[in-house]
Amino acid sequence: MLTLLSLNCPQCSAPLPRAARWRTVNCTYCGATIVRGAETVERATFRMAWQRSNSAPAEGRELVWRGARYGLLAPLGTGDSAELWLARRCGALPERATLKLALDEQAARDRLLAEAAALEALQRLATPGAAYFTRRLPQPLGTGVAEGLAGGTRTALLLRHPAGFWGSLAEVRLLNPQGIDPRHGVWLWRRMLEVLAFVHDNGWVHGALAPEHALVHPRDHGVLLIGWAGARQPPARERSAAMARDLMQSAWTIRALLAGHAADAPGPGARTPAPMAALLRQCSEDAAACAQFGARGLEQALSTAAREAFGPPQFIPFHPAPQGA
């Protein structure tokens, strides 16, 4: 006898994405956060608990997004099309989130919605490695209209806030004017290439890699690529060139970190060993070489250059802000 398994939201009964089998997801219909578990919960009990969790008072400035109240904790920055805030859902079960509020222009709203669509498409991938790599991409909770702000309503994109991430590589560069240790450049670049390999294998490109679009997790040696508003699936005739641009931009990002503030057009860094410096120059200046390598080939070439320069891999603690900075 064939047994069929249906994944449904306990709040509204809408179908859930396949990823709900292995990780936390958000219902695309009602916005409820669903955590996979073996315990069965009756819908009525769930609804009562969900309503209680949204009834607790908030502290400080707050807004309403898709029926839930969020307190704004701290500004995280302002880009060309959106303000970025650290927010917390109000209630008995608070959850931190990254809130992107579109600036009051149609182009800014369109860009925010495009980013949301790209991230949702990436999260729906079910190819080999998806269970691992989709958790290493920004996880959207959804888009909607944020109410209660000065000036009326704003289009908003809510993202699950990544715990443990210190800041962007642009901030790391600012605090390290002499450049970072090249050994840290190796793992930072490798983490970027691992994610790009998965994204490229699925026909996507990022399109705007820069130090500002990479968050670093010092303790776990992790990198989270953000800023996916320009992400796309280029047609086959453009795909190789578009992927090569991603790889060139990743190389320029690492060059900037290694050079510090040495020059407006950063070199590979005075302390960078010759094998790694040569690879950085080649990949930041030669699109054809990047196209030939591909993300996986470039990662292998980086591993070879790093072993030649530094010997077997070893974990070295990373402190993005030097003492006294």
Q: What is the CATH number of the domain that holds 148?
A: 3.30.200.20
DSSP single-letter state for residue 83 = E
Same domain, 141 and 201: no
Residue 220 scores a pLDDT above 60: yes
Q: What is the pLDDT averaged over residues 281-288?
A: 96
Name the band, by pLDDT with cuts 50, 70 and 90, for residue 19.
Answer: confident
pTM to 2 decimals? 0.81
Q: Which pLDDT tens digit goes with each residue over 160-205? A: 998 899 999 999 999 999 999 999 999 999 999 999 999 999 999 9
Which of 103, 128, 160 terminates a domain? The answer is: 160
> Could you give the percent of the chain with pLDDT greater than 70?
87
- Contact between 216 and 168 (Cβ < 8 Å): yes
Q: At what angle do helices 182-201 and 287-310 cross, to 10 degrees?
A: 140
| Element housing 5 (H / E) | none
Query: Is 48 a member of any domain?
Result: no
Query: Is 296 a member of any domain?
Result: yes
| Residue 77 confidence (pLDDT) | 87
Q: What is the pLDDT averaged over residues 270-292?
A: 95
Query: Is 1 a member of any domain?
Result: no
Same domain, 114 and 232: no
Query: Which positions ≥6 away from 195 have C-beta within 8 Å?
Result: 133, 136, 137, 223, 225
Judged on CB neighbours under 10 Å (0-12, 13-18, 19+), 209 is: buried
Name the band, by pLDDT with cuts 50, 70 and 90, for residue 57.
Answer: very low
Q: Which pLDDT tens digit goes with each residue over 139-159? A: 999 999 999 876 688 999 999
Residue 116 scores a pLDDT above 70: yes
- Residue span of the structural domain in which 284 resides: 167-310
Select, from the ranges 87-91, 217-221, 321-325, the one with the highest average predicted confidence (pLDDT).
217-221
| Residue 283 confidence (pLDDT) | 97
Same domain, 213 and 290: yes
